[in-house]
Amino acid sequence: CYAHSALFDPATNKIRPLIIHTDTWCSSGQFLPDGTLLQTGGDLDGWKKIRKFLPCETTQLCDWEELNDVGLADGRWYATNQILPDGSVIIVGGKVVNSVEFYPPRGNGAVSFPFLADVEDRQGDNLYPYVHLLPNGHLFIFANNRAVLYDYEKNLILKNYPPLDRGPRNYPSAGSSVMLALEGDFSTAVIVVCGGAQFGAYIKMDTTIPAHGSCGRIVATSPDPVWEME
């Protein structure tokens, strides 16, 4: 199955189909500083591809551009993209891919990130990791029920956060996460993780097992962070 793409104009309620050249199934994306949508990975012939969509006026026919001069070092599906302060993008994880890499590519290519392997269980639960850029320039990365503070420049884990209770929170036990709006002097970052599923629900394919109704909230920049349940 191929994922498809279209452009929707809310002013006119019209839809214009776009052309995708390779499979974007389970890919990941990130808006760049100029408004370009960067799309990476996918399935089959698309898993190492990098694509761009540069928006245009409604009178123009902009479309997807597939980059032929550069690709991903590791093929990725179910990865996560996060923009960085310099406008570059870090691409984190993916199915059976426990590494990170950057766009534009850096000289060292893909960099091993064992944390993703450490949190993987029998049904995965480390896919589409939650990645948030903190005010201190480091990354909060959450997968399954655990999180770390990551210095992507030095490839170092600076802190292991306490586990979040009540089972896996990442795909295929798909929950969601957000960093709340910064307030005050903008130095304090609060992360919320909601939803997920009981372990085994995906393996059993049992739709009668209820999803998690809880959220965990943590001050990621605190020297002594703890999860508060909601």
Whether the per-residue pLDDT at 1 is higher than 70: the answer is no
Work out the burial of residue 181: count CB atoms within 10 Å of its CB; fewer than 13 is exposed, 13-18 middle, 19 or more buried: exposed
Residue 212, amino acid: H
CA dist 76 and 49 (Å) reads 9
According to DSSP, the residues that pair with 202 across neighbouring strands are: none
What number is the average pLDDT over the span 146-166? 97
Work out the burial of residue 166: count CB atoms within 10 Å of its CB; fewer than 13 is exposed, 13-18 middle, 19 or more buried: middle
Question: Structure pTM?
Answer: 0.95
Three-state DSSP class for residue 115: helix
Work out the burial of residue 100: count CB atoms within 10 Å of its CB; fewer than 13 is exposed, 13-18 middle, 19 or more buried: buried
CA dist 143 and 146 (Å) reads 6
Rg (C-alpha) for the chain, rounded Å, is 18
Minimum mean pLDDT range among 91-95, 168-172, 205-209: 205-209
H/E element, 217: strand 215-219
Per-residue pLDDT band for 134 (boundaries 50, 70, 90) equals very high
User: Which pLDDT score, from 0 to 100, does residue 88 have?
Assistant: 98
C-alpha triplet 39, 43, 49: angle, nearest 5°: 40
Q: Which pairs with CB-CB distance under 8 Å and at least 24 residues apart come from 53-59?
A: 53/5, 53/18, 58/9, 58/11, 58/12
